[in-house]
Chains A and B, each alone.
Chain A
């Protein structure tokens, strides 16, 4: 048997990285094993059922309630009030209190940037509710303010953005 083959790319030994196992994964044997279950079937069955439930709810809603379609657009006929989609009505409500640059651009821009930076600003490592009183209070105030202004803009504002009670008239479209 000839054994002196040249070491070409085909014959030389090659290595593949199959996995990088972090140290703690093998050496920390005293770490408590988490109480875990197989994703098949335990998680998948939950996901499947929630998808089925969602499909049923969506289909029934869509059979019962028609999506709105108003008259053909008319550039010469401005509806009063002209409302944005519901999730922007909190911002439109701000227009009532602040100049447009603040309410329409700076405020939403600030909120988005602040949300994105939240994990880098909130340096508190604890996830327990009890240790996070400040951040939870601030966020809750913000969330309630947002929800209240969306509701106000949706159901309590009429022509000229004046306050109208929902039992008088609702100017709202989905």
Chain B
């Protein structure tokens, strides 16, 4: 780049970053100093759930495998692609199936977005499950993080229910019969079997229009709302409970060995 161009570029970026508009949005300079690296984390609503600094060990990819973060990212992808699908899909049993066919064949990027929604949903069940397994093996559910584990279990259930309610919406043979099998299971609940089935299916026998509208409403608003609120709690609690747990500390035996070695060293220094 010639020196004249560089001069122009510097002037242009200075003009932008020193303008009142820019400085009204970003109250600090570019985050390349410790002060600005702190201010950006505290002053940005999207970043402020993160701490300013994080333990190097807890941040390692091979510790978290990014599973919780990826689950959240997939939730965002599902929200965006889901809103797109809502523009074209009507939860009415005579048109639901043809709406999906239309999305696949007539809507611009419809097939791609539907595929992404479907695969992201399956993937999210996988990442949430693996995240839970990872947290178990690291003992990261132990005090003071026990309540956040409970929130996580409810989020796991919410994920399964989100996926399950979405399964019915295309109104094809797979979804229709999977939900028939599933809602029939509810009728085997002790004492409240009939009521549980009717609450889920919206009718006493089989799956129909009442079921479709219930599953649709649960899928596009009720469960995402529950999920979003619980996620806010979940992320907040990570901070409040002392951040990521980090790799497990030494075992009792290792601690005892270290103490014994210290004692030997202390005796040695006395002699």
Give me the interface of A with B, judged by CB distance under 8 Å. Answer: 34-44, 46-47, 50-51, 54-55, 58-59, 61-63, 65-75, 77-79, 82-88, 91-92, 99-101, 104-106, 112, 115-116, 118-120, 122, 124-132, 136, 139, 143, 173-174
Contacts and interface: CB of A to CB of B under 8 A. Distances in A.
B175 interface: yes
Of A43, A72, A92, A118, most B-chain CB atoms within 10 Å = A72
A127 B255 CA distance: 13
Given A51-B73, A65-B119, A104-B185, A131 B251 contact: yes
Given A119-B149, A128-B252, A68 B174 contact: yes
11 contacts: A34-B55, A66-B111, A69-B172, A72-B172, A73-B171, A74-B176, A83-B177, A87-B125, A127-B248, A136-B137, A174-B118
B66 A46 contact: yes
Given A35-B56, A100-B188, A127-B249, 7 more contacts: A50-B69, A59-B116, A62-B115, A66-B111, A84-B181, A87-B160, A139-B136
B140 A39 contact: no
A35 B157 CA distance: 36
Interface in B231-249: 245, 248-249
B53 interface: yes
A70 B173 contact: yes
Given A38-B34, A119-B150, A104 B178 contact: no
Contacts of B213: none
A119 B174 contact: no
Of B119, B150, B177, B206, most A-chain CB atoms within 10 Å = B177
B120 interface: yes
Contacts of B73: 50-51, 54
Contacts of A72: 97, 171-173
B97 A119 contact: no
Contacts of B38: 38
Contacts of A78: 177
Interface residues of B, number: 88
Interface string B12-44: 000000000000000000010010011011000
Interface of B: 31, 34, 37-38, 40-41, 47, 50-57, 59, 61, 66, 69-70, 73-74, 77, 97, 100-101, 104, 111-112, 114-120, 122-123, 125, 129, 133, 136-143, 145-146, 149-150, 153-154, 156-157, 160, 163-164, 167, 170-178, 180-182, 185-186, 188-190, 206-207, 245, 248-254
A125 B179 CA distance: 42
Given A71-B173, A125-B143, A130-B253, A37 B56 contact: yes
A105 B185 CA distance: 7
B62 to A, nearest CB: 12
B251 A36 contact: no
A120 B119 CA distance: 35
A70 B150 contact: no
A105 B190 CA distance: 8
B59 A50 contact: no
A73 B173 contact: yes
B37 A46 contact: no
A116 B146 CA distance: 9
A142 to B, nearest CB: 10
A47 B69 contact: yes
A74 B38 CA distance: 59
